Structure 1
Amino acid sequence: MTVIRMDHAGYVVGDLQAAIAFFVELGLELEGEATVEGAWVDQLIALEDAKADIAMLRTPDGRSRIELSTFQRPLTAVPAPSAPVNVPGIPRLTFVVDSVDEVFGRLRAHGAELVGEIAQYEDIYRYGYVRGPEGVIIGLCEELQRA
């Protein structure tokens, strides 16, 4: 048996609506929102009496999705949102965009901060890491040479 496809990546956030707005500004499309709870959720995530609000967003090409979730219960401690990019366990997603500068400018209005600098690798691509809501780190990659 082998992997058929990757279904989605997930982020747990404190402010679901702010995270949705951030990823919609990036260019993802909101598929839908729901509240999940019950025995199947408890069984799946190994927490008792869990209740979460979730949102599914997809990339414009329809090939990738992100699940954003915020827990009504049980509540947990919030990790430090300013951990560096190389901390084990910090998830990162990278998106190919038309213009790193333009997209970063739009995301800045949603609280995004540049992690380092936007760097250029030869004449192949420009790349930068952005920290968004709840410390989420995403990569923005602009292809300078298209195949």
Structure 2
Amino acid sequence: MAIKLENVGIAVRDIEAAVAFFTDLGLTVIGRDTVSGEWADTAVGLDGNHAKIAMLQTPDGNGRLELFEYIHPDAIETQDTLPNEIGMHRVAFSVDDIDEALRIAARHDCYPLRGVANYENVYKLSYVRGPSGIIVMLAEDLTQH
């Protein structure tokens, strides 16, 4: 099964300040949107999911960062993470067969938070609770079939 790192997602308090910081570091904004609806609830496993997002890319084109600011539900403040704390928001991977990827995840007792969502017949995606509680997004590009 083919797999590649897609992006890393980070929830932020203020998307404009975060975008300004990362673009100052040299990343480029390659897309912005506001997402909500049933597909977003299903993919993320959170009812009423509504967020502003910005996708940034490294200059070499190989690394992407997705920043998001929750509109609903309210964001939950946490203490700053220490380098040795386990966990993060999520890491995302493109896969060529989401069903196979979910079977592999299940072999490790890792299952979708809610199910598999279809985003505008472009992607099938699902958030899986992975090892150590890490959320892993799996996405199959439907335009490649």
Is TM more than 0.5 here? yes
**By how many angstroms is 1:26 displaced?**
1.0
Number of residue equivalences? 89
- 1:99-122 Cα shifts (integer Å, max 9, x gaps): xxxxxxxxxxxxxxxxxxxxxxxx
Q: Which structure has the larger Rg over C-alpha atoms?
A: 1
For 1:2 and 1:32, how far apart are their aligned partners in 2? 25
TM-fit CA distance, 1:61? 0.7
Within 5 A, what are the aligned runs for 1:32-51? 32-51=31-50
Q: Deviations over 1:83-106 (max 9, x none)?
A: 321111147xxxxxxxxxxxxxxx
Query: How far did 1:2 drift?
Result: 3.5
Match of 2:22 in 1: 23
Q: Secondary structure at the match of 1:47?
A: coil
| Whole-angstrom CA distance in 2 between matches of 1:64 and 1:38 | 27
DSSP 3-state at the match of 2:53: strand
Q: Counterparts of 1:66 and 1:77 in 2: how far apart (Å)?
A: 21
> Partner of 1:57 in structure 2?
56
- Structure 1 residues 37 and 90, CA gap change in structure 2 (3 angstroms): closer
Distance 1:56 1:15 in 2: 15
1:87 aligned partner, one-letter code: E
Q: What is aligned with 2:67? A: 68
Q: What is the root-mean-square deviation in Å for CA atoms of aligned residues? A: 1.3
- Percentage of identical aligned residues: 38
Higher RCO, Cα 8 Å, sep 6+: 2
